[in-house]
Amino acid sequence: MIRMQDLRKDFDVRVKAGRLRREKRTVSAVDGVSLTIEPGEMVGYIGPNGAGKSTTLKMLTGVLSPTSGEVSVFGLAPVPQRTRLALRIGVVFGQRSQLWWDLPLRESFQLLRHIYRVPPAEHETRLRRCRDLLDLDSFLDTPVRQLSLGQRMRGEITAALLHGPKVLFLDEPTIGLDVVSKQAVRSFLAELGATGDVTLVLTTHDLADIERLCDRLVVIDHGRVVHDGTIEALHARYGSRRSLVVDLDEPLPPGFTLPGASLTGVEADGHRVTFALDGASAGTAVAGLVAVASVRDLSVLEPDIEDVVARLYQAT
Amino acid sequence: MGNARIYAALAGGKWRSMLSYRASFAAEVLSNVGATALDVTTVFVLFRATATVGGFTLAEAVLMTGLTAFGFVLADMTVGNIDDLKRYVRTGLLDTMLTRPLPVLPQLVFTDLPLRKVLRLVFGATVYAVALVANDVHWTVGRVLLAAAAPVGAALFFGAIFVLTASFAFWWVESGEIGNGFTYGGRDFTSYPITVYSNWFRDLFAYTLGFGFVAYQPALALLGRADPLGLPAWAGYVSPLVALPAVAIATAVWRIGIRHYRSTGS
């Protein structure tokens, strides 16, 4: 459904060289990306600032033409067939509103209904669903300029869905939102994706979005794909491990080892120790500990995806 | 035009947006009339000092002024706000227009229709009509057609200049006020008989850039006057056609420009 083959986008930037002279330099924002996305997938695109996420999305939506390589969505070439493609995709650019600033939200939706030539009945059905799931009713008649960011984002997502697109592209849909709004947006998108009718492609800096929504994670850095797969695959690849934090009455005997786990931290004079689980299950590790020491408290920590990603960015 | 209803809806949206700022909308409407009135007054002031300018009487000159004012305001009321493209390019707002199933130019035009200029249109049309009456035009079929086609040609010509100069923003985001030199400068140029300008300046603006065919030549044909600068009489009748190459060039430059659009980081 979405295909990118060796996709590149170069920008010419002028950099200062001396007092008046400026030099032209070519920067590759996207540097040879090849990806295929199938119908119904939920793909999360992450990467540091300037990695090329938004540029890729803009090439997929027909905003920017690629410097080289191929890109197609529904078999359409996004830039030359921009208007045909636009009828079949939904786009949310978190930072750029597609709503009418001075009009009530409801009227923005009406204008979009005209732009996308949606029959009134279909429009009503889709709007009704979004109103229920995103709780729009309390601010449907408020001018967009007076909406909070969270309300506006819910409006933006509705606006992108009213013409019934089969692919929804979201560029940082949760940026700047408070916890409650983030939750609302995420559960809505999760529900949308669960129906299997809509393919979701989103970029984000918030890994919780990915964990909650995406079965496929694409990490991009310096314009190149550095990881493409599930979150579990990422953990496996970068050796991130669960860890076991144990509070003890007495420090462990010197030279103590736990099969299938390695000691990674000792705190509070040996009263708190941390083991990384290399193969042992949490259960066997706990049993091994209880056999030699008196355990007061313990907790098992899931690997932190933020750490993994931070390591990934540094490695490239 | 299957899209006409969509554009009408967009224009309606703009209208309702305006109504949410009633007072400032009213103030803008009035100040806009004031500006146009001032332009026309300038011509009258000039003729207080001398009976003829460049070989033309006041009434004849007002025909050129009126034709210019009417044509220009027609263009200004439709594509005048295309100037704002600079802002759309600088902020990357053009992205949202590019993801909709409509061509960008009409979207921009109708989303941001400068309705505050509506009274200027009335004013421009009135000056033109009054000038036609005041000049005792010897009406023929050709002249009736020309009288109708001339403002349309002028509007298309100015519209093309608006679009052309706005397109510069695709290459130079900070194109600033360069465009105004051609749009407002061009309007001021065509408001007077071109015989008043010095040779090289006249050659450049009137003939090379085509401004001489916007008001001066059609006015000559309507008045039945021979061109002191030597163009044949039929030139006045065909001069509205100068809008066609202007529109073609503007469209081509716009299309190339939009391919140059590079959006902004987000």
Mean pLDDT by runs of 10 across the 316 residues of chain A is 91 77 83 92 87 90 91 92 93 86 92 93 94 92 92 93 94 88 91 90 86 88 88 77 84 79 81 82 83 85 74 70
Q: Check B6 against A114: CB less than 8 A apart.
A: yes
Measured distance between the N- and C-terminal CA atoms of chain A, rounded to whole angstroms: 29
Task: Read off the pLDDT of residues B109-125 as tens digits, 9 standing for 90 and up.
Answer: 888 888 778 788 888 89
Q: Residue A282, Cβ neighbours under 10 Å: how many?
A: 16
ipTM for the complex shown: 0.79
Question: Which residues on chain B are in Cβ contact (under 8 Å) with A64?
Answer: 261-263
**How far is the C-alpha of A198 from the C-alpha of A165, rounded, in Å?**
7
Nearest CB among B16, B91, B98 relative to A63 is that of: B98
Minimal C-alpha gap between A99 and chain B (Å): 9
Minimal C-alpha gap between B250 and chain A (Å): 20
Q: Which two tokens stand for residue A72?
A: 């197609």
Task: Read off the pLDDT of residues B11-70 as tens digits, 9 standing for 90 and up.
Answer: 888 888 888 788 888 888 788 777 777 777 777 777 777 778 888 888 898 899 999 999
Question: Which residues on chain B are in Cβ contact (under 8 Å) with A84?
Answer: 101
Q: Check A54 against B261: CB less than 8 A apart.
A: no
Q: Is B173 on the interface with A (CB under 8 A)?
A: no
Q: Check A114 against B16: CB less than 8 A apart.
A: no
Amino acid occupying residue B40: V
Q: Residue B75, Cβ neighbours under 10 Å: how many?
A: 24
Question: Which residues on chain A are in Cβ contact (under 8 Å) with B258?
Answer: none
Q: Check A172 against B266: CB less than 8 A apart.
A: yes
Phi, psi of B210 (to 5 degrees): 95, 5
Strands A2-16 and A68-73 turn out to be antiparallel
Nearest residue of A to residue B10 by CA position? Answer: A111
pLDDT at site A315: 67
pLDDT at site B211: 92
pLDDT at site A316: 57
Nearest CB among A96, A107, A114 relative to B92 is that of: A96
Q: Check B96 against A171: CB less than 8 A apart.
A: no
pLDDT at site B140: 92
Q: Check B99 against A11: CB less than 8 A apart.
A: no
Residue with tokens 């004031």: B34
Phi, psi of A116 (to 5 degrees): -95, 5
Strands A216-221 and A42-46 turn out to be parallel
Minimal C-alpha gap between B257 and chain A (Å): 12
Q: Is A62 on the interface with B (CB under 8 A)?
A: yes
Answer whether residue B130 shows pLDDT above 80.
yes
| CA angle (B236 as vertex; B235, B242 as ends), nearest 5 | 75
HSE, side-chain direction, 13 A CA sphere, residue B169: 22
Mean pLDDT confidence for B73-81: 88
**How far is the C-alpha of B111 from the C-alpha of A260, rounded, in Å?**
65
Q: Report which DSSP code applies to B175.
A: -
Nearest CB among A64, A102, A103 relative to B263 is that of: A64
Question: Which residues on chain B are in Cβ contact (under 8 Å) with A88?
Answer: none
Q: What is the DSSP string of A174-239?
A: TTT--HHHHHHHHHHHHHHHHTSSSEEEEE-S-HHHHHHH-SEEEEEETTEEEEEE-HHHHHHHTT
Q: Is B255 on the interface with A (CB under 8 A)?
A: no
Minimal C-alpha gap between B179 and chain A (Å): 24
> What confidence tier does B174 reach under pLDDT thresholds 50, 70, 90?
low
pTM: 0.81
Nearest CB among B10, B17, B263 relative to A102 is that of: B17
pLDDT at site B264: 66
Q: Is A58 on the interface with B (CB under 8 A)?
A: yes
**How far is the C-alpha of B70 from the C-alpha of B121, rounded, in Å?**
6
Nearest CB among B13, B96, B103 relative to A103 is that of: B13
pLDDT at site B254: 92
- When the pLDDT of each residue in chain B is averaged and rounded to a whole number, the result is 86
Answer whether residue B266 shows pLDDT above 60.
no
Reference B166, options B158, A32, A259; nearest CA is: B158
Q: What is the DSSP string of B64-103?
A: HHHHHHHHHHHHHHHHGGGGGHHHHHHHTTHHHHHTSSS-
Q: Is B96 on the interface with A (CB under 8 A)?
A: yes
The interface residues of chain B toward chain A in range 21-60, judged by CB-CB distance below 8 A, are: 21
Nearest CB among B6, B262, B266 relative to A95 is that of: B266
Q: Which two tokens stand for residue A252?
A: 């462990």
List C-alpha distances in Å: B71 to A115, B38, B58, B68, B218: 30, 17, 20, 5, 12
Helix boundaries (H) for A41-178: 53-60, 82-86, 105-115, 120-134, 149-161
Q: Cα B159 to chain center, whole Å?
A: 5
Q: Residue A100, Cβ neighbours under 10 Å: how many?
A: 23
Q: Which residues are CB-neighbours of A59 under 8 A, at least 6 positions away? A: A4, A7, A9, A30, A65, A66, A71, A78
Question: Which residues on chain B are in Cβ contact (under 8 Å) with A54?
Answer: 265-266
